[in-house]
A and B are shown apart, each in its own frame.
Chain A
Amino acid sequence: MQKRPPLAGWIQVLLPVGAILLTLALSAIPILFAGGNLWLSYYSLFKGAFGTRYNLLETFTHAAPLTFTGLAVAFAFRAKFWNIGAEGQLLAGAIAAAWVGINAPGIPRPLLLLLMCLAGFLAGGAWATIPAFLKNKLKVDDVVSSLLLNYVMWHIMGFLLFGPMQMPGSSWPRSAAIAEAARFPILFSRSRFHLGIVLAALAVLVIWFINSKTVLGFQSRAVGANAQAAAFSGINVNSVIFETALISGGLAGMAGVGEVAGIHFHLLMDVSKGFGYSGIVIAMLGRLHPVGTALAAFFFSTIIVGAQSMSRITGVPTYIADVIQAMALLIMLITLLFTEYRVRVAMK
């Protein structure tokens, strides 16, 4: 293998598209393995995701938490802060938002919604600064600590939902409903398309702005490229990682806010369906760029929403969506390799 000169911009953009097409083609293997009819499977997948007005809006709705967690991971990975803890940070945000929403103070609705977002952002952000602190001060591997913290937060939520936050009189792990005023407004009638989707789109713009127009964006990229060189040039690496973690965790926390205030209106154990882990794949597929991340989130939302109707019609288990996600990540990784290297087959 040899290093090759950087490829033209349009090839770089087309790569993820190629990876997605290849993934969809290779998905035929598990579908056939499950005994599904290929054309019917693909047809029902896309019909389920885009076929009706409701389904299309549902695909958008589902893309919101994925966009947030994807941005969270992408923002952290850019600084080589290995935040694998978006799942736990999402839960932290969901808990905080639910708490505010249930105990909603009698303040005007816009202020209340803002307060919920703020609480969710800060809770997720604070949770993400723990691995950053442990990495900076005690050299604890961020992958391991952020992963383990997911389980800690999961059990904290379990404790709250079986304890202090449990709906009075209920034996299920589920909180009381949030106040009517604490619900995100629905933007299209007869759908679940809520304010959170707009917020996710805004977050894409904000992160793009931070990445390309602010000092923090420049510094976090420098730290990611070479932490030692960044330190030599006078960048305070520790504080860059800390701020990156805060924003990254905050974004994941916002995913939790949206699920509570826009979808469930309660806090429940399955408030996240692995969105935090999907965020890793989405960030990679989006090449850590905010717009790419949003597009990748939309693609995955298509797969997840579509897989449900595919499963109903062809009997292929919905877990096909998880398999396709993982395949997309691995194929994207391999594709990226060929942008940096060219392979020469040695002839004897």
Chain B
Amino acid sequence: MEQIFNWAFLAGLLGAMIRMATPILFGTLGEIIVERSGVLNLGIEGIMLMGAMTGFLTTLYTGSLWLGVLAAALGGILLSLLMAFLSVTLGLSQHVSGLGITLLATGLAMFIYRLAVGSPVSPPTVKPFVPVAIPFLSSLPVVGRAFFNQYSLVYIAFLLIPLVWIFLYKTSWGLVIRTVGENPLAADTVGINVNLVRTICLAAGGALMGIGGAFLTLAHQNMFLIDVVGGRGWVCIAMVIFGNWDPARGAAGALLFGFLDGLQLRLQSIWYNIPFHLFLLVPYLLTILVLATISRRAAAPSSLLKPYRREEKG
């Protein structure tokens, strides 16, 4: 046991935690922006898959990883605008339109991928992102390797935590978004275009979700597989609730999930005689348990799930 649980193991585990938390971070922060404006975007699972696919194909054809990231963001924005048309402009059920977006995005992602690459024996691969070591910091013991020798997208995700927090709580834009989410009628009264704000939030959140998906195919792995997202979008929805719609606490949830995911990956290779599926189910199971402990106290934005139609007044 001592040979297994040493410093190298710890550094590896922390590094894996940070990496596995990254797509969840993008998705969770994106979803928080959206939900704060009063819209639940259940399209997230499909949007992440679409991001993973468009990011991968773009990089495959252009050779540019950053163009791939850009394409993933654009894919996320496009799908989110469709979500906005359904759930904001038309005011349809957010539950059902979100699930519809996920189904549509999943179908389209697989359809387009199959069209583009056909059915080769082994799936095509791209040259993925390589870790970028930050001078000095990366040479620190244990934490250096874990925290400061990561992919650029990881640094961006972690920088986004304070940025989104400041944006939501310390800027007038953030105040507008929160007002729209808590009391759209009041926002409308002072001249804020409620539906426009919600549409913009959906688009911005969709861009982040798309990038989170692209991380999976351009950094975490180097190929597109149909189950590459594998429920991470739903985990993000859970983390938003866990974080009580606060970016910092949501990020803590994402890190917790990353830790569990990283841990089960490490344990899989140590206890290789235990079927790996038992490890794979642990993060999902614990996410449910965490929700069970916290949901009673969760306070969602007041207008979440309620479309705003001016002529109906609340």
Contacts and interface: CB of A to CB of B under 8 A. Distances in A.
B114 A317 contact: yes
Given A1-B309, A281-B103, A329-B103, A334 B92 contact: yes
A347 interface: no
Interface stretch (A113-121, A147-155, A199-207, A232-240): A147-155
A319 B104 CA distance: 11
Given A143-B95, A333-B86, A333-B96, A323 B281 contact: no
Nearest to A278: B103
Given A139-B296, A155-B284, A326-B108, 12 more contacts: A82-B95, A140-B288, A148-B284, A152-B284, A156-B277, A158-B277, A159-B281, A277-B103, A322-B103, A330-B97, A334-B92, A337-B90
Contacts of B110: 317, 319, 322
Interface string B228-246: 0011001101100100000
B238 A144 contact: yes
Name the 4 nearest CB pairs between A and B, nearest first.
A322-B107, A158-B277, A326-B104, A155-B281
B231 A151 contact: yes
A327 B104 contact: yes
A326 B277 contact: no
Q: Report the interface size class on chain B.
A: 35 or more
Contact of A323 (B90, B99, B111, B311): B111
B285 interface: yes
A319 B298 CA distance: 39
A30 interface: yes
Contacts of A138: 291-293, 295-296
7 contacts: A138-B292, A141-B295, A143-B42, A144-B238, A148-B234, A150-B231, A317-B110
Nearest to A283: B96
A145 B234 CA distance: 9
Interface centre among B86, B93, B114, B309 (most CB of A within 10 A): B114
B162 to A, nearest CB: 26
Contacts, number: 138
Contacts of A139: 295-296, 298
A325 B106 CA distance: 11
Interface in B263-290: 275-278, 280-281, 284-285, 287-288
Interface centre among B90, B107, B110, B280 (most CB of A within 10 A): B107
Contacts of B104: 323, 326-327, 329-330
A324 B99 CA distance: 14
Nearest to B115: A34
A333 B293 CA distance: 35
B276 to A, nearest CB: 8
Interface in A294-342: 317, 319-327, 329-330, 333-334, 337
A84 interface: yes
Nearest to A158: B277
A162 B295 contact: no
A333 B97 contact: yes
B100 interface: yes
Contacts of A18: none
A189 to B, nearest CB: 34
B281 A84 contact: no
Interface string A36-72: 0000000000000000000000000000000000000
Interface string B96-136: 11011001101110110011000000000000000000000
Contacts of B295: 134, 138-141
B108 A323 contact: yes
Contacts of B288: 134, 140, 145, 148-149, 152
A284 interface: yes
A330 B115 CA distance: 23
A318 to B, nearest CB: 8
Contacts of B276: 162
